[in-house]
Amino acid sequence: MCPVTYQGEAYWQDVLDARYAGTTDAFTMLNGSFGAKWMGGKFITSVKGANLANQEVMQHVFGDVMKRSIVGEVKVVF
């Protein structure tokens, strides 16, 4: 996972009316992940986080506000 991502101001327009057009603010997000292998690599656990600074981020003018996201994952190899 890339630890720091940046998106500059972006213009978005949809085929709908003018409410679905406009620019977004630039933003920088801090992300991170770590994991471990267990039992000879048969179990892999990891934790992944996005927008760790918990800033309100909109990737496009009609999208959801993205906040901090943390996900745990377990993989089993057999």
Higher pLDDT, 1 or 29: 29
Which long-range contacts (C-beta less than 8 Å, at least 24 apart) are formed by 14-18?
14/62
Instruction: Give CA 6 to chain center in angstroms.
Output: 11
Q: What is the pLDDT of residues 22-40, one digit of tens each?
A: 888 899 999 999 999 999 9
**Residue 77: what pLDDT?**
93
Which of 19-28, 32-41, 43-52, 58-67 has the least mean pLDDT?
Answer: 58-67
pLDDT score at 1:
56
Amino acid identity of residue 77, one-letter, is: V
Nearest to 45 by CA among 55, 33, 57: 33
pLDDT band at residue 11 using 50, 70 and 90 as cut-offs: confident
